[in-house]
Structure 1
Amino acid sequence: MDALFDSIADNIAEHGFAVADKFLSQDELNNILTLDDFKNTANHFKKAGIGKQQGLQINEAIRGDYIKWVDKEASPAPLQVYVSRLESLVQYLNQALFLSLKDFEVHMTVYPIGTFYKRHLDQFKKDDHRKLSVICYLNEGWKEEHGGQLRMYLPEKTADILPVGGRLVCFRSDQIEHEVLPATRERYSITGWILDQYIALKHL
């Protein structure tokens, strides 16, 4: 994993984002997808909102995904594999880029067919603790005609990233606006943020 972590660190330093394939192996990906959460998403996932705490709002004209927060200490073994690897990545980025990253939060995400998330920035106006956004895709056999790209708005161009299974995308939460394009099939991921503070409260 050191070579993969090194590539992620180099690309974040140079471009503000990194794309790393095979962050999860095919077997690790399959084990996550066999969890009951993904087999019965209607019973386990909640409609995602916009904003934070008291200001949280549901607006399907802006985002249409469903989420379930991951308890890092009590999550099932297949998710612990990802949590552990992300912890290792955080430590590596701190050493390589001299960052002060302290914690991270992640949720499982499902985008039903045709849903999207309009252009936005992953940082709240009154809370700047999200430093890096990190997404790991869980989609087997994804093809370009399925759509569902992550579109990042970079200084001189846009970059469209296919949500290929096992692929990790990591980017600066405070700098890169992005959106999720509609897809012709359900789109799965583990989405999260690496923070410069410890998380005090668990998500409900």
Structure 2
Amino acid sequence: MIGGDNLIHQVNDTTTTTTTVADQATSTIQTKATTTDNKLIDLTGGAILNDKLQYFQLQHLTQLETDGYIIIDDFVGQTLHDSCRKETLQLYDSGDKLRDANMSRGDTKWNDKSIRSDKIMWLNKDTCLDLKEGRIPHISTLLARLEQLRSELNAVIPSLHLDETRTQSQLAIYPSGGRYIKHTDSFVGGNSRRITCIYYLNPGWKPQDGGELRLYMPQLQQQQQQHDNLTTTVDIEPLGDRLLLFLSEYIPHEVRPSLADSRIAITTWFY
């Protein structure tokens, strides 16, 4: 979430309601407490090629249009999840692979741990030596699986046109007390990130561990007319083997303070 991220200052004249997404034992979609028949964005134009669905269900794509996010639990299974987590901890313990996350706008970069306090490593296959030299094969397998999601979205939704040649991926580890204040991943309408995919590597996560991802849900026109000052948020628990997808341009979000020893996630952005 570096380069193009937009920090958002909190406003105090709004009422906020928060929904927590509960743990689910099987792959499923999650829904907000309040839904509407209106679409946040028309991704499909009504044309979905159902016979090409593999990782997604039709309900996933419908929810992405109406709510702006979807969740898939048990995404790759415990074996690959545990192997990826082991590799991330080895990278972290090496002492020189991850660095303090910066924020940037244009050519200006800065670091402020009161705003963002994770350590990161870029996982771009063309530049990351650990990927190129095969030292993190299980993370490589996970990234390939995520790229398959992009290919499926393009196949199922012909009008979507996600860029098949451009992807960014990043490993982020938050220490105890780490957080990232409210921000967005992309500019609306720009030539930038369109879908954010976050894969969590936190087995045995408990509510007292904190570190939820708080989504600030966009107001549809009908909701704005009814509740001018209402902000609805959804807290996503960073459970191990959970995949979260959301529309990068439309969903402001923040990482709530993490109270566990480490909070681990791998994020991939589609353009």
TM-score by length of 1: 0.87
- Seen in structure 2, the aligned counterparts of structure 1 residues 162 and 116 have a Cα distance that, compared at 3 Å, is same
Q: How many residues align?
A: 194
Question: Among the aligned pairs, what percent are the same residue?
Answer: 30
**Is 1:141 equivalent to 2:195 in the alignment?**
no
> 1:139 is paired with a residue of what secondary structure?
coil
* Structure 2 counterpart of 1:134, one-letter code: C
**Is 1:85 equivalent to 2:167 in the alignment?**
no
> 2:211 is paired with a residue of what secondary structure?
coil
Kept in 2: contact 1:137–1:167 (CA 8 A): yes
Kept in 2: contact 1:72–1:83 (CA 8 A): no
**Is 1:49 equivalent to 2:125 in the alignment?**
no
Kept in 1: contact 2:54–2:152 (CA 8 A): no
In the TM superposition, what is the alpha-carbon distance from 1:128 to its structure 2 partner?
3.8
* Structure 2 counterpart of 1:85, one-letter code: R
* Structure 2 counterpart of 1:142, one-letter code: W
What does the per-residue CA deviation read over 1:33-71, in whole Å, with 9 as the maximum and x for residues that have no partner? 222214x16331011111256222111121111100113
Partner residue of 1:109 out of 172, 182, 185: 172
> 2:110 is paired with a residue of what secondary structure?
coil
- Match of residue 187 from structure 1: 263
Distance in 2 of aligned mates of 1:124 and 1:51? 14
- Seen in structure 2, the aligned counterparts of structure 1 residues 92 and 126 have a Cα distance that, compared at 3 Å, is closer
* Structure 1 counterpart of 2:91, one-letter code: D
- Match of residue 32 from structure 1: 84
Distance in 1 of aligned mates of 2:94 and 2:214? 25
In the TM superposition, what is the alpha-carbon distance from 1:144 to its structure 2 partner?
1.2
> 1:95 is paired with a residue of what secondary structure?
helix
Kept in 2: contact 1:49–1:56 (CA 8 A): yes
Distance in 1 of aligned mates of 2:116 and 2:94? 17
Which structure 2 residue ranges, 5 or more long, are not aligned?
A: 1-26, 28-52, 127-131, 220-230
Q: Which runs of 4+ in 1 moved over 2 A?
A: 1-4, 6-11, 95-98, 124-128
Which structure 1 residue ranges, 5 or more long, are not aligned?
A: 196-204
TM-score by length of 2: 0.66
**Is 1:20 equivalent to 2:96 in the alignment?**
no
6-15 or 176-185, which deviates more = 6-15
* Max Rg structure: 2
Partner residue of 1:172 out of 234, 247, 250: 247
- Seen in structure 2, the aligned counterparts of structure 1 residues 53 and 125 have a Cα distance that, compared at 3 Å, is farther
What does the per-residue CA deviation read over 1:99-155, in whole Å, with 9 as the maximum and x for residues that have no partner? 111132111110010110000111159954100111100001001121110000003
- Match of residue 67 from structure 1: 120
Distance in 1 of aligned mates of 2:177 and 2:94? 16
Query: What's the RMSD between the two structures over aligned residues?
Result: 2.1
- Seen in structure 2, the aligned counterparts of structure 1 residues 108 and 12 have a Cα distance that, compared at 3 Å, is same
